[in-house]
Structure 1
Amino acid sequence: MSGTLSLGEHRPPLWQVRCDTALGWIVELPAALIVLAEVVVLLAGVISRFVFDYPLVWSDELASILFLWLAMLGSAVALRRGDHMRMTVLAQRLQPAWRAYAEALAVGAPCLFLAVMLGPSINYAQDQWVVQTPVMGIPDTIRVAAVPVGSVLMLAICCTQLARHRLRELVCALGTLAAIALALYFARNWIWGIGNWSLVIFFGVLLAAGVLGGLPIAFCFGLSTVACLLSTTTTPLAVITGQMNEGMSSLVLLAVPLFVLLGQLIVMTRMANAMVAFLAALLGHVKGGLSFVLIGAMVLVSGISGAKTADMAAVAPVLFPEMKKRGIPEGELVSLLAACGAMAETIPPSLVLIIIGSVTGVSIAALFTGGLLPGLVLAVALGVIARKRTGDLAGKAERASAKTVLKTFVVALPALVLPVLIRFVVADGVATATEVSTIGIAYTVVVGLLVYRHFDWRRIYPMLVETASLSGAILLIIGAATAMAWALTQASFSQALAQAMGHMPGGAWGFLFISVIAFIVLGSVLEGIPAMVLFGSLLFPMARQAGIHEVHYAITVILAMGIGLFTPPFGLGYYAACTIGRVDPNAGLRRIWPYLGALAVGLAAVAAIPWISTGFLS
């Protein structure tokens, strides 16, 4: 949104450009410094605890205070850069005039939510003055003030972006929002009268219309929740701020920005290139060898970057040119890449595993242990299909000499140690995901400087800003979805859902089957993290009640969500793969289905055989 002009925008006058530039510095520089401070504070705590056996009791508390500021400032950075998660597939197919209107609406809706919530967030921050932090003894307002400050900055960003649009589009967009608000106001007595059926209006019709219309998903959640509370209850809106604060403040979620930064460091230091080069030397000559390299590379780097797009971006540019030289159609390449993205959702340290553990209370160490084998099962399934479809084309390379294989292995060894270390240290309970991600950052910096000797200091600031942006987008969704889940729970939605799903035929297997179907659909429409945050807290208690092991259930629904995320025509992950591979999406539409079929078979095996997910749990 802050870069090249999008459809419906006109070239702004100089004062607007200067305002946008100033806002960029106001939000990006502090956000980048907070990311750096989080790394330093947490690393100091880890070193003090593990090396000197002297825990810094204040480190976690200071990191928690900084974390909420990172979430809100990062959300502002994401809003300015257009990084908030949106479903734009339908909006992009509209006629130019309608598409311009949809873009204006996508800015106006966040502006409305922020304006409505600004007053309640200020009141909530003021009320927290009497609460003091347990170790440092400072008022909690210092931490919670991040919410109104971030809201003001995001409002300013929205205003600068609205000013880029033509008056006709602004009138249409703001008129649409006003019309919806007036309709809900005059229909409030009728809405009160229909009881819990009103949830269909707010969390069915309005939410679906916003998501499908291309509005940022976090703000769709927020607006639906605000509309529900204003229309059906007398609950003060400050409760929403409290729930968002609770959702974004979990110390476990500190691993999110750290793993995002770690992934960028792995790419920048060329550790990812070293891994891919070793796999190519080892397998490049066999039938379908480069396809196996692509699958293996995605297994190795998966999850460390914090985003599937980053995983794919670390692998595809290295392998695609050579695979194209061997005659593999680009549609086949992007289909396999997208399928690999879905395959690797449960391979630790996946951020989805960390987030679902935070939301549901399931042990993250258990999820890390349970997620590896199912991912490998799906990788084998993909390998079988890839060999059949690309084997005759990809077997033309000469076998690398043993000396070459050994040399690439030695070069890749420092890089190969990192993913293995992260997965098994957390799975064995030696350290938390946050601690390991901090250690991983320090390790990558040292290896990049001393071993690979490729460390671009000029990339540090952009990487810190990008980390803040992606983390803010993820954390705002978690906060908004937490508030929305609270509203659904207060309306007895969870009990009604439990009753409906409890009457599904087939008992536990019936519940598992309907969950798989639901998460494939949700993964396609909402993306993975919003779907997991919103429905995880509702469905996991039902799974336990049905007698399904929580790790087995978690792994199954995450894989189902991943398949939905990379399934065209709605799955955003598929289009991300096409963008990274620079391939027309139409080229892969007919070729991706055998790969998705292999993933479906693998998912059926994981769902039907709980041991695959739970067999290695102690």
Structure 2
Amino acid sequence: MTAATEDFVIGEVSENLDARPGSALMRPVEVFAAMLMAAVVILLLGGVISRYVINTPLVWVEEAASICFIWLAMLGSAIALDRNEHLRLTLFLRLLPQRLQGAVEATALMAMAAFLIAMLPATYEYAYEEWFITSAALHIPNTFRVAGIPVGFTMMLCLLLLHAFRGHSVSNVVLGAVVVGAMALVFWFFSDMFLEAGNASLAFFLIVIVALGLAAGVPIAFCFGLGTLCYLAFASFVPVYVMVGRMDEGMSSVILLSVPVFVLLGCILDKTGMGKAIVDFLGSLIGHVKAGMSYVLLSSLFIVSGISGSKVSDMATVAPALFPEMKRRGNKPPEMIAQLATGAAMADTVPPSIVLIVLGAVAGISIADLFASGFTVAIVLLLVLMALARFRARHESMAGVRRAPLKTIAQMLVIAAPALVLPFIIRGSVSSGIATATEVSTIAVVYGLAIGAILYGGISLRDIYKMLVETAAMSGAILLILGTALSMAWAITQAGVGQTIADFSAGLPGGVFSFIAMSIVIFLILGCVLEGLPALVLMSPLMFPIAASFGLHPVHYAMIVVVAMNIGLMAPPIGIGFYLACRIGNVAPDEALRAIWPYILALIVGLVLIAIFPWISIGVL
């Protein structure tokens, strides 16, 4: 996910990676991370073969993959930091005068460094204590697995200092360190008052500190980490050591092993041209009707999402293939961006959605059920968006547009068929219980590589290496957010906030309907501010037990909050997805701002239908 947005990035990704401050130091790390990613795929594939082919499960495969996974997450986080690919909000930072931006950015770097410095002793202690815990299958100390956490934190600290002193003046760096140190001293001085304040101090650290961090351009993962760390250190008697354990738990779930593998699958989709083959086939099939190219755009996002699991990969695959023809037919670029953004939001429930995989892991919901439900929910949203696109295209010029000959359609189908089959293999295998999401992700990667090599021109070893490194960086950024968000959610839960929300919800007039409405508003807002995964990971442990108390089916409630979150993700002026679509489509956000709102409203109509009629979500279970 190297594509950056104007208002939700950690700076511009350099075209010349060798120009990065840590490039020479990180090259061996990138090689090792690529080897770890390859090892994860090979181990998981070996487990699938041993289970289904020779009927002799290898019990140690899962443990070995878990060891590689935590190291991959931490080294990937360091690579993402060096490449400026951690997610952060820069909207408010850019509103500052130019002379202040450097000072604020340096302060943000010092805040991140302070978090790592404060956490390092606890991470090394945690790794030491895990020496006395032996793994069940490999019979080795668990330290070999969790040692990746202190190593990754140390590496990120070195990179941060390198970036700070090479990218900013010494005076700005010193000023940033002084500001961060002064804030820590003030918090320490008033620690007794924070202890007495109870949940009020929790709100201060987990809302105010996180908000200040976001406004200053601190990446989301570090914002969550700083808020939780400050609360534990200055407003509770809980040792920081516990936070490391929660982060380890958040990043180590076996279910999450499929996340980097599906990310890799998205890279393969981009590199081989499998996604473009699907787009070309749909264009030949329905591109001749009025609003046909809009139908192709939305349908392509629906199908391609079932392969890549990534919104970035979906939009980057579909837009370049369709936008030139759409412009030729008179479609306005802002309208195209609106369809691209909201179509990607619709497609985020199509298996193998990474969001659904993570939600299933965090909320304890069957991923097979989420996949089955997500497919039908996406169809409802697709139909709503298509209806609006048809209405808005009623004056579209069709002069010179001809139906593609049947021979051309047949040729396109033959080319696209191997790619078209893949999303149905993924969904069918998981939903029917034939294989887990992790197993299917591995099979899909091997299938994609094989089909890409045979039918779509192949992939060079150099490209494979780049994809492995890119996957490590993207996965590391995702998993670090997941770890810090879960530690923050744990702190909130321990403080009894969940029960407070439950009591408040129970007192609302309207009962379950008021709770659903409140949930939609919460996730719409959080989707705008925090992006998808952090919002879900943070709030799921709090909201799902309350939903259960109201008698809501967990899959139905999951679809409501995921769709609400995705709508917020695409809603300007803050939603990251909106700016990402603008960047991919090369359209100024100001131009697309007005065009997207009718499509946002259409998604909201679809969301209301999903909320009112539970059978849309659970009728297929």
Give the shorter-chain TM-score range. over 0.9
For this pair of structures, how many residues does the alignment match?
609
**Structure 1 counterpart of 2:410:** 406
The answer to whether the aligner puts 1:207 opposite 2:207 as a matched pair is no
Letter in 2 for 1:176: V
Q: Equivalent residue for 1:225?
A: 228
- By how many angstroms is 1:167 displaced? 2.3
Kindly provide the amino acid, as one letter, of the partner of residue 324 in structure 2. P
* Residue 212 of structure 1: how far off its partner (Å): 2.8
Letter in 2 for 1:461: Y
> Structure 1 residues 171, 60: closer, same or farther in 2, change over 3 A?
same
Pairwise CA distance, 1:391: 4.5
| Aligned twin of 2:15 | none
**Counterpart Cα distance in 1 of 2:101 and 2:346:** 33
Q: What residue number does 2:457 align with?
A: 453
Q: Which amino acid aligns with 1:160?
A: L
**2:24 and 2:574 mapped to 1: Cα distance?**
36
For residues 188-226 of structure 1, give each alpha carbon's deviation from its aligned partner in whole angstroms, at most 9, with x where no partner exists. Answer: 122122121111111111111212332100111111111
* Alpha-carbon shift at residue 418 of structure 1 (Å): 0.3
Whether 2:550 is the aligned partner of 1:549: answer no
> Do the aligned residues in 1 keep the contact of 2:10 with 2:89 (CA within 8 Å)?
no
Q: Which residue of 1 aligns with 2:587?
A: 583
The answer as to whether partners of 1:289 and 1:391 remain within 8 angstroms in 2 is no
1:18, 1:543 → 2: CA distance?
47
CA contact (8 A) 2:286 2:295 kept: yes
Separation in 1, partners of 2:537, 2:397 = 41
Q: 1:275, 1:69 → 2: CA distance? A: 36
Structure-to-structure mapping, 1:471-550, within 5 angstroms: 471-550=475-554
CA 1:3–1:554 in structure 2 vs 1: closer, same or farther (change >3 Å)? closer
Find the counterpart in structure 2 of residue 127 from structure 1.
Answer: 129
Unaligned segments of structure 2, at least 5 residues:
12-17
Aligned mates of 1:548, 1:193 — CA distance in 2: 37
- Say which is worse superposed, 468-477 or 449-458, in terms of deviation: 449-458
Q: Is the 8 A contact 1:48 1:55 kept in 2?
A: yes
Q: In structure 1, what is the equivalent of residue 597 of structure 2?
A: 593
Alignment correspondent of 2:153: 151
Tell me if 1:289 matches 2:263.
no
Distance 1:17 1:354 in 2: 36
Deviation at 1:17, TM superposition (A): 6.6
Q: Amino acid of the residue matched to residue 430 of structure 1?
A: I
> Which amino acid in 2 is paired with 1:174?
A
Tell whether the 8 Å contact from 1:105 to 1:215 is kept in structure 2 after alignment: no
Partner of 2:120: 118
8 A contact 1:289–1:395 mirrored in 2: no
Query: Normalised by the size of structure 2, how large is the TM-score?
Result: 0.95
The answer to whether the aligner puts 1:441 opposite 2:437 as a matched pair is no
CA contact (8 A) 2:308 2:352 kept: no
CA distance in 2, matches of 1:351, 1:453: 28
Aligned to 1:61: 63
> Cα gap change, 1:376/1:30 in structure 2, threshold over 3 Å: closer, same or farther?
same
For 1:457 and 1:149, locate their aligned partners in 2 and report how far apart those are by CA, in whole Å. 28
- Using the size of structure 1 for normalisation, the TM-score is 0.96
Aligned CA distance change for structure 1 residues 342 and 3 (closer, same or farther; 3 Å):
closer
Corresponding residue of 1:425 = 429
Q: Hey, what does 2:320 align to over in structure 1? A: 317
Once the two structures are superposed, the pairs formed by residues 353-368 of structure 1 within 5 Å of their partners are: 353-368=356-371
Indicate if the aligned counterparts of 1:543 and 1:553 stay in contact, CA closer than 8 A.
yes
Write the letter of the residue equivalent to 1:161.
Answer: H
Cα distance between partner residues in 2 of 1:23 and 1:499: 52
Distance (Å, rounded) in 1 between the aligned partners of 2:161 and 2:77: 16
- Residues 23, 157 of structure 1: 8 Å contact kept: no
Aligned-partner SS, 2:348: helix
CA contact (8 A) 1:524 1:570 kept: yes
| Contact 1:104–1:173 under 8 Å retained in 2 | yes
CA distance in 2, matches of 1:305, 1:415: 11
Separation in structure 2 between the aligned mates of residue 566 and residue 549 of structure 1, nearest angstrom:
26
Give the distance between the partners of 1:94 and 1:423, measured in 2 at CA: 47
- The equivalent of 1:388 in structure 2 is 391
Equivalent AA in structure 2 for residue 366 of structure 1: D
Supply the AA of the counterpart residue of 1:278: F
| Counterpart Cα distance in 2 of 1:19 and 1:203 | 32
| Counterpart residue type for residue 263 of structure 1 | G
Q: 1:234 aligns with which of 213, 226, 237?
A: 237
Aligned to 1:96: 98
Give the one of 333, 338, 347 matched to 1:335: 338
1:572 aligned residue (569, 573, 576): 576
Higher alpha-carbon deviation: 126-135 or 322-331: 322-331
Q: Structure 1: how far apart are the matches of 2:550 and 2:142? A: 40
> Equivalents in 1 of 2:40, 2:602: separation in Å?
41
Name the CA distance, whole Å, in 1 between partners of 2:372 and 2:418.
23
Moved more, 199-208 or 246-255: 199-208
Deviations 1:60-94 (A, max 9, x none): 11001111001100111111111111122222232
> Cα–Cα, structure 1 residues 542 and 518, in superposed 2: closer, same or farther, change >3 Å?
same
Paired residue type of 1:381: V
Q: Does 1:243 align with 2:246?
A: yes
- AA matched with 1:425: S
| Aligned counterpart in structure 2 of residue 182 of structure 1, from 185, 190, 211 | 185
CA distance change for structure 1 residues 124 and 97 in 2, over 3 Å: closer, same or farther?
same
Distance 1:459 1:503 in 2: 57
Q: Which structure 1 segments of 5+ residues have no match?
A: 10-15
Q: Which residue of 1 aligns with 2:278?
A: 275
1:12 aligns with none
Alpha-carbon distance between aligned partners in 1 of 2:488 and 2:340, rounded to the nearest angstrom: 34
Specify which of 49, 52, 68 is matched with residue 50 of structure 1.
52
Q: Per the alignment, in what secondary structure is the counterpart of residue 74 of structure 1?
A: helix
Cα pair 2:306 2:423 within 8 Å, conserved: no
Contact 1:42–1:60 (8 Å) recurs in 2: yes
The verdict on how the C-alpha distance between 1:548 and 1:448 changes in structure 2, with shifts beyond 3 A counting, is same
Distance change >3 Å, CA 102–CA 393, structure 1 → 2: farther
Secondary structure of the equivalent of 2:177? helix
Instruction: Give the superposition deviation at 1:176.
Output: 2.4
Aligned to 2:265: 262
* Letter paired with 2:147: A
Letter in 2 for 1:40: I
1:12-23 mapped onto 2 (5 Å cutoff): 20-23=22-25
> 8 Å contact 1:288–1:395 — kept in the other structure?
no
Shift, 1:174, TM fit = 2.1
Instruction: Specify which of 369, 372, 384 is matched with residue 372 of structure 2.
Output: 369
Preserved CA contact (<8 Å) 2:105 2:216: no
Distance across 1 between alignment mates of 2:571 and 2:306:
19
Q: Deviations over 1:124-159 (max 9, x none)?
A: 100110100000100000001000001111011101
In the alignment, which residue of structure 2 is the partner of 1:349? 352
Residue 32 of structure 1 corresponds to which residue in structure 2?
34
Superposed, which structure 2 residues align to 1:299-310 within 5 Å? 299-302=302-305, 304-310=307-313
- Please tell me the residue identity of whatever aligns with 1:592: I
Task: Please identify runs of 4+ aligned residues in structure 1 that moved more than 6 A.
Answer: 6-9, 16-19
* Distance of 1:412 and 1:210 partners within structure 2: 46
**1:501 Cα deviation after fit:** 2.0
- State whether residues 3 and 81 of structure 1, in contact with CA within 8 Å, keep that contact through their aligned partners in structure 2: no
- Give the alignment's Cα RMSD to 1 decimal: 1.9
Change (3 A) 1:307 1:232: same
SS of the equivalent of 2:458 reads coil
Show CA shifts across 1:397-417 (max 9, x none): 211011111111111101000
What's the offset of the Cα at 1:603?
Answer: 0.6
1:13 maps to what in 2?
none
